[in-house]
Amino acid sequence: MCLYPKVIRNRKYMANKKNGGDIPHCNDERVKWVSVGCGKCVECRKQKARSWQVRLMEELRENKNGKFVTYTFSERELQKIDNKIDKRVKGYERDNAICTYAVRHYTERWRKKYKKTLRHWLVTELGGTNTERVHLHGIVWTDEIEDITKIWKYGKTYIGEYCSEQTVNYIIKYVNKVDEKHKEYTSKIYASKGIGANYIKRKDSKNNKYKEKETKETYTTRTGTELALPVYYRNKIYTEEEREKLWVEKLDKQKRYVCGVEIDVSKGLEEYYRVLKRKREMNRRLGYGDDSVNWEQKKYEQELRNLKREERIRKLWNTNA
């Protein structure tokens, strides 16, 4: 559960374009409000990582030709792309914009040659060496190994000898990783549509079907580990009405969870807030974010990234001189 949750109005029960102003009847006033995570804290990042972990394992189970890859940028190619990015985009946002441009054009070149897109899941990371260049790790599903590098063209590539659940566990760490050198940097994920979608067709997904007060909302790995069912699967397995019922059932149990700690709130919220305060302190010590923006830290790191960019440009000029 998010350490900095916000409760907002459920748009379903508000007049909007989708319902044409005709607000549907509500059987339980509590469903008019929904809890939204901050997306920055340790719990939110772990949830996002676990969700992709499950979906990637399912994709590898269905498609056996996955290849672990790392894509890098040469200084020259990096600058070529950089020159095409809107100059108003600064700091870390510029690093991710460069990757967005590269991945989009890479997959377009692949589609042009093979008449179909390259199935992929990629996540960005900033380098830890002096250059601190952005690069990507991930998995691509193809048997055309030579073209993985040839069509990329922006720099060197590394292609792993095998791709398995261990590979998934390795690359997923970049989703919730806190970079000590770039604490305000948030990695960006690029993924093909429907990664892991085959789970919905498997018999195992039938175990997740809605059963009043007995619904199994977890995914079981091959080793027997129970993981939270990704939202992607929940939205496909449960109807909107069933998801509301599940939410109400959770509220009726009067249990809350903070970093895996179950708390009974039937007699008050004192214990919940006490544990929440302690876990938030832990969250800050670990370097994770929250629902606020550390403007000074972010400004400082953005300036460093801009300086690093200028340093790269000067180096290229000196090389060409």
182 phi/psi in degrees, rounded to 5: -135, 65
Complete DSSP assignment for 30-87? GGGEEEE--SSSHHHHHHHHHHHHHHHHHHHHH-TTEEEEEE---HHHHHHHHTTS-T
Report the pLDDT value the prediction gives residue 297, as an integer from 0 to 100: 64
Show the beta-strand stretches assigned E in 82-182.
119-126, 134-141, 157-159
What is the rounded CA–CA span in Å between residue 188 and residue 175?
Answer: 8
Its pTM stands at 0.87
Instruction: Quickly count: other Cβ atoms within 10 Å of residue 87's Cβ.
Output: 8
Instruction: Quickly count: other Cβ atoms within 10 Å of residue 311's Cβ.
Output: 13
Place of tokens 């060409």: 320
Report the pLDDT value the prediction gives residue 49, as an integer from 0 to 100: 94
Burial class from Cβ neighbours inside 10 Å (0-12, 13-18, 19+) for residue 124 reads buried
Beta-carbon contacts of residue 172 (< 8 Å; ≥ 6 apart): 49, 52, 53, 56
Report the pLDDT value the prediction gives residue 135, as an integer from 0 to 100: 96
**b/e 261-271 (16+ beta carbons within 10 angstroms → b):** eebeeeeeeee
SS3 for 170?
helix
Report the pLDDT value the prediction gives residue 295, as an integer from 0 to 100: 57
**DSSP secondary structure code for residue 23 in this structure:** P
What is the rounded CA–CA span in Å between residue 183 and residue 224?
Answer: 34
What is the rounded CA–CA span in Å between residue 168 and residue 176?
Answer: 13
Report the pLDDT value the prediction gives residue 67, as an integer from 0 to 100: 97
> Mean pLDDT, consecutive 10-residue segments, the chain of 321 residues?
86 86 86 85 92 96 96 95 94 95 98 96 89 94 96 96 91 86 88 97 96 95 91 96 92 88 88 91 84 63 74 74 57
> What are the residue boundaries of the structural domains of the chain, listed by start?
43-195+295-320
- Strand pairing report for 157-159 and 66-71: antiparallel
SS3 for 247?
helix
